[in-house]
Amino acid sequence: MPLSPRRVTRNARLLPALALVLATTALTGCSALSRDDTNQGGSTDGTSAVDAYGGNPFAARGQTLVGSPRLPAAARQATADGRDDDAARLERLAEVPTGIWLTPEKYPAGEVGPYVSAVVAGTEGRTVPVFVVYGFPDRDCTGGFSAGGLDADSYLPWVDEIAAAAGSGSATVLEPDALASTDSCGGEDRLDLLASAVDSLDAAGVTTYVDAGHSHWVDAQRTAELLERVGVEDVRGFSTNVANYQPLDAEQQWAARVSDLVGGAHYVIDTSRDGDPVDGTVGQPVDDWCNPPDRSLGETPGFVDDGPALDALLWVKPPAESDGTCHGGPPAGDVWIDRALALATAAGW
């Protein structure tokens, strides 16, 4: 069932964004590290919404929803068990768009292009699929729970295949953590490869947000230097807080500073799990990135139309998926129903 359009201002709660659910069986598989939704729009004077909102893709069309079948199945089971409140929470979670994660382990070369093409075709141009490209060499080098990725020679052809299939009607979040981990995991060769991926997506017209880490990791000045090194000025901008838990106010302040340092690049913030914690430490930096207890869901996705460089709040990380085998969690990317319910309950759902 379609969701209604969501507009966000920096000091206001979200209003109800139109979503398009891709209901085909081929597009609803449960991926190892993945998923997503959309909104139609336009101005009354004949100007397209994307032009009216300074090129913000989420103002013109909402985000594409590619759902996990695990959530509706769990909701049905909860209903059968007489847990109606849990069923309602899971049903609501299943209707919120998240990122569509592309890993070479699930979508190798030769398969990733057809999959992306199928998602794009399924939108019929009415929604924006947000693909999360996650196959960088030595992936998750600072965490390890999502370790893997491609070798350097295989990586760029894989990205080229994604770029060609995604085209100008799609958005990407490029390589969560890869840029921010540069100083810990590699130098110029790593940046050169990431810059080539930026070039590939840019050449295909894909709206690209280079992942920049988050406010509690690399300082704004160094982050800006790294973003400039990989060519952020050639694409839409950058993403922050992907698969992390930092408070929204801190992310907005840090991202605004980074944006200023790189000439006003636009950005999106992952708010999937950055809601107020139940332990009372509201607004405090979060040190534990792997299934930390006492967290809650954050603001649901929506676009920003009040003039800042912030394009949208997104759920890039599907909140029902584990960060890894920590705090009792299953492997990274596996759906963890109990945690999904804990996050939703803590958020007051």
- Cα–Cα distance list, 44 to 19, 53, 134 (Å): 21, 13, 39
Evaluate whether residue 90 is within a structural domain.
Answer: yes
pLDDT (tens digit per residue) in 260-293: 999 999 999 999 999 999 988 899 999 999 999 9
Q: CA-to-CA distance for 5 and 40, rounded, in angstroms?
A: 8
Cα–Cα dist 114/272, whole Å:
28
Q: Is residue 2 part of a domain?
A: no
- Is 70 exceeded by the pLDDT of residue 342? yes
Q: Which structure tokens are listed for 327?
A: 């705090």
Percent of the chain with pLDDT over 70: 82
Residue 1 belongs to a domain: no
Measured distance CA(68)–CA(32) in Å, rounded: 11
Tens of pLDDT, residue by residue over 19-63, are 333 433 333 332 333 333 333 233 333 333 444 456 899 998 999
pLDDT, tens only, 65-117 = 998 899 999 999 999 999 999 999 999 999 999 999 999 999 999 999 999 99
Q: Judge whether 323 counts as a catalytic residue.
A: yes
Interatomic CA distance for residues 189 and 212, integer angstroms:
18
Which residues sit opposite 321 in a β-bridge?
Answer: 335
Q: Is 145 a member of any domain?
A: yes
Q: Is residue 108 part of a domain?
A: yes
The model carries a pTM of: 0.87
Q: Write the DSSP string, 126-146.
A: SEE-EEEE---TTBTTTT-TT
Whether 106 maps to a domain, the answer reads yes
Phi, psi angles (nearest 5°) of residue 20: -110, 120
Verify whether residue 140 is a known catalytic residue: yes
DSSP for residue 19: -
Residue 159: inside a domain, yes or no? yes
In the chain, the number of structural domains is 1
Coil, strand or helix at 102: strand
Catalytic residue of the set 37, 160, 177, 274: 177
Q: What is the pLDDT of residue 168?
A: 95
Which residue of the set 36, 86, 140, 211 is catalytic? 140
**CATH number of the domain to which 275 belongs:** 3.20.20.40
Q: Which domain holds residue 47?
A: 7-346
Domain annotation covers residue 327: yes
